[in-house]
């Protein structure tokens, strides 16, 4: 049982690290923090926005959850909900990233 839990935590950590790297790289290149807003100017920007949201989603979700908790003084439930959703999203993106890494 603990083996499966350990594997899930490692997958989630790899997904969250990937989300942090993608989100930080986007912020470094563009000068603004990544957000869930999509730009639909042309097809290339739309596809890039979707890929950014898919890969950096857990990072954006936790950043927004922490901001709501600290700045807007929302209840701890908001922070816990964003942490659980971020963890589940990290498992999925980590599974995708590790599958690609092992395939290569």
Count of residues making up the chain: 104
| Percent of the chain's residues with pLDDT above 90 | 73
Q: 2 falls in which pLDDT band (50, 70, 90)?
A: confident
Q: How many CB atoms lie within 10 A of CB 82?
A: 22
Tokens of 24: 């930080």
- Residue 94: pLDDT over 80: yes
Q: Any idea what the Cα angle at residue 24 is, between residues 18 and 28, rounded to 5°?
A: 145
Q: What pTM was computed for the model?
A: 0.86
How many independent structural domains does the chain possess?
A: 1
Domain that holds residue 48: 2-103
Instruction: Give the pLDDT confidence of 44-77 residue by residue, as tens digits.
Output: 888 989 999 999 999 999 999 999 999 998 899 9
What distances in angstroms separate CA 93 from CA 40, 53, 67, 79, one per listed residue? 24, 11, 23, 21
């Amino acid at each position: 049982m603990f083996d499966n839990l350990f594997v899930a935590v490692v997958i989630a950590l790899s997904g969250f690290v990937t989300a942090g790297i993608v989100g930080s790289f986007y912020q470094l290149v563009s000068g603004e923090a990544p957000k869930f807003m999509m730009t639909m100017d042309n097809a290339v920007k739309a596809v890039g926005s979707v890929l950014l949201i898919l890969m950096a989603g857990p990072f954006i979700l936790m950043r927004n959850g922490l901001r709501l908790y600290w700045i807007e003084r929302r209840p701890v439930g908001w922070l816990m909900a964003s942490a659980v959703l971020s963890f589940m999203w990290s498992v999925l993106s980590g599974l995708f990233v590790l599958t690609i890494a092992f395939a290569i």
